Chain A
Amino acid sequence: MATKSLKARNNDIANTERQLEILSNGIFANRELPTFATKIKETNQFPLRPKKLEILQINLGYMCNQVCDHCHVDAGPDRNEIMTIETMNHCLEVINKTGAQTLDLTGGAPEMNPNFRWFVEEASKRGIKDFIVRSNLTIIKANKKYHDLPDFFKKHGVHVVSSLPHYTKGKTDKQRGNGVFDKSIEALKSLNKVGYGMPNSDLRLDLVYNPSGAFLPGNQQALEQDFKKALKADFDINFHNLFAITNLPISRFLDYLIASENYDDYMTALVDAYNPVAVQNVMCTNTISVSWDGFLYDCDFNQMLNLKVASNVQHISDYHEELLQNRNIVINQHCFGCTAGAGSSCQGVVA
């Protein structure tokens, strides 16, 4: 298991242009597989256009206490891209005036941003309906200064969404690192203790499942039932919903696919599972993603590929929702990851 990001290892794939080159060449260039644009043209869904903006997703930085095998952010302890107070202030101004109902903070481990708590306090005053923090769980147990996070989240009515790849230790640790499963279980217990994830509790605790390798996620509802049954029986842990997310072929997962010689088969599986109904609700149609340095993207994945919004407004300091909504969404072959089967988004299935 790697302990450094691709960037720190000077890996070729840390270069976003190289990633885009890989996604345009090979089985797509020789037309063995159709491109994403060709596919959505079949159902007159090209160009892909935004619908009503519902989610503002803000990436507070790429620093993380974990170095998961398949991280699409290439996050890790060595990443020092962190959102500044200045950019946070721009974000708060936008939160004041946006029509979006959901604010979604992500990272890296967003809690590692030194101004995380200040930002959450400020943002929570602005009456957002659904305020999500994506927590990797282990951060809560990583250091004493994070131990009170469950209480902090509770105080500000934060909706906690956490990754847990499997309800068994073996599969979780293989993907996320040794010891991650035990720490995650401890963190879930702390969250349950203050009321998160309990039946009928307003303190929402949802889990994110993504496959531990080069295969697609199964039925979200069936997986949720399996997770609930196992976590309850083995650890007396409760949570609300499970979001099944497909691994997209970018960054560390792309590196893994290529190194394990699974790339062609995985892309074929994604294209074979293409579902035009999922295209209608794909998350880029209702989301704006803001990077640590304030640039705007159609989604978190486009952010990691450095594909900025195709708009005159490209930075949070120039934010203009109406102008921004009048744009074509930037697509590439990685988009097949969000339209396979029942579809995939940061909120789970979409079809």
Chain B
Amino acid sequence: MSKNYYDAADLRKFGKITEWNEELGAKFFDYYGKVFEEGSLTAREKSLIALAVAHTEQCPYCIDAYTKDGLQKGITKEEMMEAVHVGAAIKSGATLVHGVQMMNIVNKLDS
């Protein structure tokens, strides 16, 4: 058993999840592959969305994968950082918008 919860070498083994459930694993990877194909959005746009979400999910494997994917697609570091800020803005906005709930409760209870 690894001493760390996360090991960079595990990313390469992602495909192995199929070994313990062929049907669901295969369906997942098939779906995953389709999602990232060129569609109404370009593969480049999807890669930037994935990078932002990878950060908000705080998934180190996904950050590794989609930073590399961005480099391969010729995405610049400035574009990547802007995408991360989009994710961060939604995260902080999502926190702050709950402030309204706090305000509602205070306004109701505190005369």
Contact = CB atoms under 8 A, between A and B. Distances in A.
Nearest to A215: B71
Most A-side CB within 10 Å, residue of B72, B73, B74, B76? B74
B111 interface: no
Contacts of A219: 43, 73
Contacts, number: 35
A170 B72 contact: no
Interface string B50-83: 0000000000000000001101111010000000
A268 interface: yes
B42 interface: yes
A226 B75 CA distance: 10
A77 interface: no
Give the secondary structure class of A's interface: loop
Given A223-B74, A268-B12, A272-B12, A215 B43 contact: no
A172 B64 CA distance: 23
A215 B76 contact: no
A233 interface: no
Given A219-B43, A222-B43, A226-B44, A211 B72 contact: yes
B75 to A, nearest CB: 9
Interface residues of B, number: 12
Contact of A216 (B38, B44, B72): B72
B58 to A, nearest CB: 22
Interface residues of A, number: 20
Interface string B11-32: 0100000000000000000000
Contacts of B42: 222
Contact of B76 (A168, A223, A272): A168
Interface of A: 166-168, 170-171, 209, 211-213, 215-219, 222-223, 226-227, 268, 272
Interface of B: 12, 38, 42-44, 68-69, 71-74, 76
